[in-house]
Structure 1
């Protein structure tokens, strides 16, 4: 008789319901993250196409503009920072980098605040109108520029200044400041079209990563292993232990003559002129006991887990080896695949929740499964 609950549904129906709920929840989480990134890229694309300033925006500022100079952006809350040690910053470029995470409102070690005031981006320079005076960085004289990936600090080097300085901004305003400074610098060297092309490429690449809703599982797909807590992993470990214990017991008593007798019986006797030789009894074992040996079992002989991987005929394990970029079609029969598994474009990795993903090597790998734990190898 089928095992049923109070509603009359069999365990297969309950398993299918749990799996479908989990898949829908995972899909909605991945789709929401993808949508946020898509909206941000399209916002930056629109801003890059429409970004422009005016001389009227500089009205009221204690800043004298050149004849062809316009104000592009201004922020009243900025701090001037300097570093105590000598550093060589990378040359400024037009790369639009995706934020690695939220910026922490902190000042890095070795950076000191020397003034505060209003930061102004114009078509020709970046200016800080501080309480102690004015500090400016002309685009044509910038030799190095670096944005701190963890803190809202931008450091700049110029030809006519020995000490490296820069700006510390509010963490929520820093991403827009960095993007607009990139646009202003691109305009100064007549390369805004390169920034637009880069954003178009990022949008096209991101469109290829859009998650898709996987098909719902049916009760017929339920395996008997789902009745065991831990599923196939628990069964694999139990089977390995069941094979290890007898092997260990046999190896633990090497002085037992039974094994020698069996081996002697299995060995054919030598023949002389086609006739079997007389079988002589084996010499008695010496009275002195042999020293005990340590068991020498191998994973292949005992069926032990493959460094924690479930038993599978594909030869996939977690022991280290060749990365798997084109897994076998039946991989999901032995491993717990993420819902959007076949949409991955990388190599096999195991997530921290136990499922596997084909997005190894990408920042989106196991994003909805608590991150990457280890690589699946062969």
Structure 2
């Protein structure tokens, strides 16, 4: 079929098909990421509500329980670590952060492994049953607690020891251990409800970030530059070259070797005796660039004559630009038709920003915003 400019032309249908495939792929990736996070939050909420132990769970362990103490969790593969130097750890809190990044199976600097054995979380303490003996960390004596964000190491300070010590666990068990230790500590200080309220708040906030299904692109929405390989970028580069090449040729024109251009004006006829003598027009000499005086500075044009209404943003009917204003947390579904969106754009969450490579991302306000695109340049506003 021949290519025409009508809405029924072949290239317009191909453009609409590519747009719909890309939009659906981006939406599905964002929805899958959102659903994984939602499932994890709800799993933690159910675990926090039902987390409890029993005296029978400690049967067979070489650990003597005191009073109403019960075993909540046990892991046979744990290492005892100690800090070589005296440190001050932050006070224990009830913060739940299920979004920690992947942990690497490494030991941080300044930390040494001194024993290995079974880690046990009870309702009153954390215990390591090691080959060299037993190490206890009672919740009532804890003054500091820190989870390493890059390694599966948890350090604890207690009143009766000068140096910090703790546990190093397998990477796949560290997140579960940290969450259950937080629950056990919350129970010890009678603050289980604070953890449940925090998880409820995280679930409610995450529900507001569910990605929207994108609108269907139609052939009638295709613009003419979609026919050019590279699309809008190619058109912009070609337009810039069309302006720069003539300017470069004009600037490279050599100056007049004579040092100037003499503009001669035709001589006026000789005056008659009865007529008043006419003034003779002088010969106008244009000095060369090397000897010409500095021109006077012209008045700057008014700001309204040169101001870009979008401050460098592509022309778009959405009113989006870089001039400052209101941040955009829920952009229009057709934003990627006018701007160059990063892959997995709708995965968000955050507000709309432009990365340093020119693309736009929906991760504004997050620590890893535009991490794979040279960082954040500025916010997209309306």
TM-score scaled by structure 2?
0.78
Structure 1 equivalent of residue 285 of structure 2: 284
After alignment, is 114-123 or 353-362 more displaced?
353-362
Q: Deviations over 1:22-70 (max 9, x none)?
A: 1111111111111111111000000000000111111111111111211
Instruction: Please show how residues 102-181 of structure 1 align to structure 2 within 5 Å.
Output: 102-181=102-181
For 1:242-280, what per-residue CA distance to the aligned partner results, in whole angstroms no more than 9, with x for missing partners?
A: 1122223334458569xx99xxxxxxxxxxxxxxx9794
Question: Structure 2: where are the runs of 5+ without partners?
Answer: 262-277, 295-302
Partner of 1:297: none
> Mean alpha-carbon deviation: is it higher for 324-333 or for 116-125?
324-333
Which one has the largest radius of gyration?
2
Q: Indicate whether 1:212 and 2:212 are aligned.
A: yes
1:228-307 equivalences in 2 (<5 Å)? 228-253=228-253, 255=255, 280-281=281-282, 283-286=284-287, 289-290=290-291
Kindly indicate whether the alpha-carbon contact (under 8 Å) linking 2:364 and 2:379 is maintained by their aligned counterparts in 1: no
Contact 1:323 1:375 in 2 (8 A): no
Cα displacement (A) at 1:375: 3.2
TM-superposed CA distance for 1:336, in Å, is: 3.5
Aligned to 1:78: 78
- Gaps of at least 5 residues in structure 1 are 262-276, 294-299
Q: Name the TM-score, length of structure 1 as normaliser.
A: 0.79
Shift of 1:362: 3.4
In 2, the alpha carbon distance for the partners of 1:353 and 1:214 equals 25
Count of aligned positions: 345
Aligned counterpart, 2:45: 45
CA distance in 2, matches of 1:13, 1:44: 47
Instruction: Return the alpha-carbon distance in structure 2 between the equivalents of residues 88 and 237 of structure 1.
Output: 57
How far apart are 1:102 and its partner, in Å?
A: 1.5
Note closer, same or farther for the CA distance 1:99–1:194 as it changes in structure 2 (3 Å cut). same
Question: For residue 375 of structure 1, what is the aligned residue in structure 2?
Answer: 377
| 1:224 Cα deviation from its structure 2 partner | 1.1
Distance 1:372 1:127, change over 3 A: same
Counterpart-to-counterpart distance in 2, 1:166 and 1:82 = 6
Q: Is the 8 A contact 1:214 1:340 kept in 2?
A: no
Superposed CA RMSD in Å reads: 3.9
Judge conservation of contact 1:323–1:377 (CA < 8 Å) in 2: no
Q: Is contact 1:349–1:357 with CA below 8 Å preserved after alignment?
A: yes
Deviation at 1:98, TM superposition (A): 2.8
Deviations 1:302-357 (A, max 9, x none): 999x999646796945xxx7476149979666323579989977443236996523
Displacement after TM superposition at 1:110 (Å): 1.5
Q: Cα gap change, 1:205/1:243 in structure 2, threshold over 3 Å: closer, same or farther?
A: same
Distance 1:196 1:28, change over 3 A: same
State the SS of the aligned residue for 2:176.
Answer: helix
